[in-house]
Amino acid sequence: KAGVTQTPRYLIKTRGQQVTLSCSPISGHRSVSWYQQTPGQGLQFLFEYFSETQRNKGNFPGRFSGRQFSNSRSEMNVSTLELGDSALYLCASSFASGGYEQYFGPGTRLTVT
């Protein structure tokens, strides 16, 4: 069974731009969660989608948004990029909403210059 895939793996953007990251969950998994990982703050929860609905949201500004499609693939969008948005963005999939057995993708490394 294929694992969680994320595209692109690396991205360089300029302040003020917007970016869209994509995540394909493990086949059969309907929940996708997104996390931001930085050296200073560690892994922080952004949001979770299950059956195309946002089920939970972390403490991030409204510039961070996401969505989920009927095939469970998910995208997250960051608008008006700031230097502090540079991070590794990880998505994780699980079978159930709020499940503790989450399987992570390799992440997208976003650098904002």
Partner 1 sequence: GESVGLHLPTLSVQEGDNSIINCAYSNSASDYFIWYKQESGKGPQFIIDIRSNMDKRQGQRVTVLLNKTVKHLSLQIAATQPGDSAVYFCADIYTGANSKLTFGKGITLSVRP
Binding site for partner 1 (CB under 8 A): 4, 33, 35, 37, 39-40, 42-45, 48, 55-56, 58, 88, 90, 92, 97-107, 109
Measured on CA atoms in the order 23, 2, 102, 88, is the torsion positive or negative?
A: negative
Instruction: Find the shortest distance in angstroms from Cβ 100 to partner 1.
Output: 4
Q: Please identify, using beta-carbon distances, which residue of 13 and 79 lies nearer to partner 1.
A: 13
| Cα–Cα distance for residue pair 24/37, rounded to 1 Å | 19
What is the β-pairing status of strands 42-50 and 31-38? antiparallel
Q: Please identify, using beta-carbon distances, which residue of 36 and 72 lies nearer to partner 1.
A: 36
Instruction: Find the shortest distance in angstroms from Cβ 78 to partner 1.
Output: 19
Instruction: Find the shortest distance in angstroms from Cβ 47 to partner 1.
Output: 9
Q: Counting Cβ atoms within 10 Å, is residue 49 exposed (0-12), middle (13-18) or buried (19+)? A: buried
